[in-house]
Chain A
Amino acid sequence: MIITFVLVVAAFLALGFSVWLIRGRAVAAEVLENPAEHIRAVDVEAFRNLVDPDEEDFLRKNLAPAEFRRIQRERLHAAVEYVSCAADNAAFLLRLADAGRRSSDAATAEAAQKLVDNAIRLRLYALQAIPRLYLGMVIPGVRISPVRIAERYEQMTRQVVLLGCLQYPIRGISAAL
């Protein structure tokens, strides 16, 4: 009886996922119409500072242990926000670049392909970084350096600008990034 109940609940959840998939396609179409509205600004330098090991060492040396733990937790919490924001932007850019990939212009299609690859990598890094950042909040001594996210994000920004040069409609996005 319990297994039947669990499987029926799982089946309804799966049905919900299917509906979620349809909604995802509708959102993707909306993003392509108004891309700039879906992008949230990310301060890469501030993010670098938050995950900088030297900065962490400095705080560790100059603050009381309890104070350091509190500050570090807040810093990592902010870092999670930055990573989530960057990952969300990457998802939007992925959809945008995906449309660009089908362009008849070879240069645009190539730039869009590079943007797709980078956005996917950034989403992958975010997938690894967020649990590690949370782990760092629980265990303050753990070393976390998701610097690759910042590098990848900067690279992605450049590619957005390049794609923007080739394809006008993504104007306003590079400034937001």
Chain B
Amino acid sequence: MHSLLSALFYYLWIAPHILLAVILMLMIRRKLYKQFPVFLLYIAFELFQFIVLLTVFLRAGSLADDRYRGAFALGTAISAALRFGIIYEIFTELFRNYHGLSELGRVLFRWATIVLLLIGVALASTHGNGNEFISIVATLDRTVRFMQCGLLMFLFLFSRYFALSWRNYAFGIALGFGILASSELANTAILSWIGKFSDLGKGSDILDYLGMAVYHACVLIWIFYLLAPERETVLTPKQLPEDELEVWNQELQRLLQQ
């Protein structure tokens, strides 16, 4: 049972990063770094972080090693910052073809960020037992995840209301991050609660496995949308409908009179 869990752990840790390397190659080959430079940087950083963490883990032989924990915390912080950049990149890409809406979108996006930050800080301030380092880190992590999840949901709602069309790549990235952010929000919320109880270590292990599995699924989503062909629906003229000629004629006359 233990060896099975161990194999699952290594699979969930290594496999997504191999797939991330594939994403990196695909993005470079398709010159998508021009469109999504921050996402490319994020993928590259995730790979770099994986190599560093794996090396430290193999040398130290334990995930509880201080060097491993330090590298992990630093990597998580940089990764979180890059994710904010990616959300803004998705936002810019989505509004690129909607000039009339981009200014309003920018203002609302800014306000959403401020409101989410305030809510996040308010939630973090309710953290009671401030003596444990892990619990504090988990609470901070929870605040960041909450903001990222909220910003993505704002983006989804806004685009859905205005029926904005998503290109495949942007949609895939946003969908992957949407799922990742929501699962991580639930994960960190439970972890910061568990952090108050030292005897619930098993529960946090299960959450770790779940988090890794969701991350793996999100990487698969990114790959799927990178490989899926872009849907180009262009309407093509076929024949003139006679029943509408009258209406069209009237409207064209109105246009000409303007």
Q: Number of A-B pairs whose CB atoms are under 8 Å? A: 146
| Pick from B98, B149, B175, B244: contact of A22, CB under 8 Å | B175
Question: Number of contact residues on A: which range applies?
Answer: 35 or more
CB distance from A46 to the nearest CB of B (A): 19
Chain A residues whose C-beta falls within 8 Å of the C-beta of B229 in the assembled complex: none
Report whether B156 and A20 are in contact in the complex, using a CB–CB cutoff of 8 Å: yes
Residue B165 interfacial (CB < 8 Å): yes
**What separation, in Å, do the CA atoms of A92 and B97 have in the docked complex?**
17
Report whether A14 and B149 are in contact in the complex, using a CB–CB cutoff of 8 Å: yes
CB distance from B183 to the nearest CB of A (A): 7
Within 8 A of A (CB), among B191-244: 192-193, 231-241, 243-244
Report whether A169 and B233 are in contact in the complex, using a CB–CB cutoff of 8 Å: no
Report whether A158 and B186 are in contact in the complex, using a CB–CB cutoff of 8 Å: no
Residue B40 interfacial (CB < 8 Å): no
Chain A residues whose C-beta falls within 8 Å of the C-beta of B97 in the assembled complex: 101
Chain A residues whose C-beta falls within 8 Å of the C-beta of B185 in the assembled complex: 7, 10-11, 14
Identity of the chain B residue whose Cβ is nearest the Cβ of A165 in the assembled complex: B248
Identity of the chain B residue whose Cβ is nearest the Cβ of A166 in the assembled complex: B237
**What separation, in Å, do the CA atoms of A91 and B162 have in the docked complex?**
7
Report whether A3 and B189 are in contact in the complex, using a CB–CB cutoff of 8 Å: yes
Identity of the chain B residue whose Cβ is nearest the Cβ of A117 in the assembled complex: B100
Within 8 A of A (CB), among B36-55: none
Among the interface residues B174, B235, B243, B252, which one has the most CB atoms of the partner chain A within 10 A? B235
In the assembled complex, 21 residue pairs joining A and B whose CB atoms fall closer than 8 Å, in A order, are A4-B193, A7-B142, A7-B146, A8-B186, A11-B182, A14-B152, A14-B181, A18-B179, A91-B162, A95-B165, A99-B234, A102-B232, A116-B98, A120-B162, A123-B163, A158-B255, A167-B235, A167-B237, A169-B237, A171-B244, A175-B244
In the A-B complex, the 6 residue pairs with the smallest Cβ-Cβ separation, listed nearest first, are A7-B189, A11-B186, A14-B182, A161-B251, A18-B178, A171-B241
